[in-house]
Amino acid sequence: MKTWMAVLLGLGMTVIAVAASPEPLPYRIVVTGGELLNGVYPDSHTHFLARTLRPLGAHCLGSMIVDDVREQMLDTLRFATNGVRLVIVTGGLGPTPNDITRETLSEFTGIPLREDPDLVSGMAQRSRQPREHLRPNLRRQAEVPTRGAYLKSINGTAAGLVFEMESLVIVALPGPPRELQPMVIKELLPYLRRKFGVRPLGATLTLRFVGVGQSQISQTIKDRVTIPPEVVVTSLFEGGRVDFFFSLPNNDTASEATLSKLKEQIRGLLSDYLYAEDDSSLEEVVIRKLQAAGGALALAEVATGGQLATQLNRVTGATNVVAGAYAAPTEETLARLLKTRSEVSELAVAAARQTQSAWALAVGRSQVALKFPDGQVLTKPLVLRGPDEEARALLVTQLLDFLRRSLRGKAEIP
């Protein structure tokens, strides 16, 4: 458990002491996207934003959905900005032609855009190509307001944008929930604290789950746990991982005791899915478990396109645990690289042999195989739920959970 201030400091944020606002911060939400108006997707952004900002003293006066059409967006912004100090716009920051939020907000506010060199460098690094080779539509995502700020992207390429006018701030957030929700928690909340002096949360409990749905966790807690009325519950879903936050207005012994009791109750019901009780990522948990178990891990990847190695190698200390990684488009190509047969079990054994690793994980198109230090190889069927990045991210999460469970003696693929 941590205070919200400690959470922000733990994320590397600079928290500036600002007197708490005597009045609630009024704001409106503008959700962009024709697919929402056509009923293709529900509007989950309003629920998440309103529930997340309410404990800070931010009061939502209304939410509107508008198509990605310049004239309609300008009309909506004229209404949304009336009588508030903050407007939050979601969606339309991507690289496609109908992503016009950035340019429309620049026109509405009169604040020009500039290309941020740090964002371009980060984009080039992620795509593994020189910055001069980046496509123009991708580089658009590195354009930020000349007056204001930007919010760093946690899980995507598009930064959040902050347009600061004399008596009004308009914040633009990316549309995909897996990008928007972490950005709100880790970037927007500290900004609102600095800019508007919204009150920080008091004592806060963070519980992180994997291998179970957000609705199942909510239903289990509703049916089996008594939540005191003063506890504010928010949740965040991203790539198969679910975070729940339990917050109280005060940071005192009684609040800590209340949250500690809640933690024990929830842990008793959902411990199999609970991977962290702090801000540790699933990747960090797996790396720590490998370090504790002893021996390095080798990876051989087909279905994930090397993303599993990429995610693990972002963790501090991973270079002492991840001994090597191989990636190829097919098992047959991977087999030629490793000089073995194309069965995933053989790929795992060969990867371990090539890197002299105690552990090895091979991910094929329909199976995953894990080689243990004693030579045993466990093989499981695998289902890739589509060819897009979201499906691949979900698969990486499932594989990390598979490693987590294996390292504690419960090897299962959710």
pLDDT digits (tens, 9 = 90+) for 314-356: 888 898 899 999 999 999 999 999 999 999 999 999 999 999 9
Q: What is the 3-state secondary structure (H, E, C) of 319-363?
A: HHCEEEEEECCCHHHHHHHHCCCCCHHHHHHHHHHHHCCCEEEEE
Confidence band for 52, pLDDT divided at 50, 70 and 90? confident
Average pLDDT rounded to a whole number, residues 58-83: 96
Question: Residue 122's pLDDT is what?
Answer: 80
Stretch(es) of the chain classified as CATH 3.90.950.20: 282-406
Question: Residue 235's pLDDT is what?
Answer: 81
Which class does domain 203-276 fall in?
alpha beta
Q: Is it the case that residue 42 has pLDDT exceeding 90?
A: no
- Give Cα separations from 327 to 132, 295, 387, 400 (angstroms): 26, 21, 16, 17
CB contact at 8 A, 11 and 69: no
Reported in sequence order, the residue ranges of 24-159 that DSSP labels E, i.e. its strands, are 25-32, 58-66, 86-90, 113-115, 143-145, 148-151
Q: Is it the case that residue 165 has pLDDT exceeding 90?
A: yes
Question: Residue 385's pLDDT is what?
Answer: 76
How many Å apart are CA 139 and CA 403, to the nearest integer? 36
Return the bridge partners of 36, or none.
Answer: none
Question: Residue 22's pLDDT is what?
Answer: 41
Question: Residue 163's pLDDT is what?
Answer: 98
- Give Cα separations from 293 to 16, 284, 373 (angstroms): 41, 14, 10
Six token digits for residue 56: 């800070």
Q: Is it the case that residue 196 has pLDDT exceeding 60?
A: yes
Residue-wise burial string across 112-122, b where 16 or more C-beta atoms lie within 10 A, e elsewhere: ebeebeebbeb
Of 403, 383, 379, which Cα lies nearest the Cα of 392? Answer: 383
Q: Is it the case that residue 11 has pLDDT exceeding 70?
A: no
Q: Is it the case that residue 13 has pLDDT exceeding 60?
A: no
- The values of phi and psi at residue 272, to 5°, are -65, -25
- The values of phi and psi at residue 239, to 5°, are 55, 40
How many Å apart are CA 76 and CA 64, to the nearest integer? 8
Percent over 70 (pLDDT), the chain:
91
Q: Considering the domain 21-196, what is its CATH architecture?
A: 3-Layer(aba) Sandwich (3.40)
Of 24, 56, 61, which Cα lies nearest the Cα of 46? Answer: 61
Q: Which residue carries 């991982």 as its tokens?
A: 241
Stretch(es) of the chain classified as CATH 3.40.980.10: 21-196
DSSP type of residue 184: I
Question: Residue 138's pLDDT is what?
Answer: 79
**CATH match for 282-406 among 3.90.950.20, 3.40.30.10, 3.40.50.1220, 3.30.499.10:** 3.90.950.20
Average pLDDT rounded to a whole number, residues 278-288: 92
Question: Residue 39's pLDDT is what?
Answer: 86
Of 323, 324, 312, 320, which Cα lies nearest the Cα of 286? Answer: 312
pLDDT digits (tens, 9 = 90+) for 365-399: 999 999 999 999 999 998 877 777 778 889 999 99
In sequence order, the 6+-apart residues with CB closer than 8 A to the CB of 106 are 112, 113, 145, 163
DSSP type of residue 207: E
Question: Residue 70's pLDDT is what?
Answer: 96
Q: Is it the case that residue 133 has pLDDT exceeding 90?
A: no
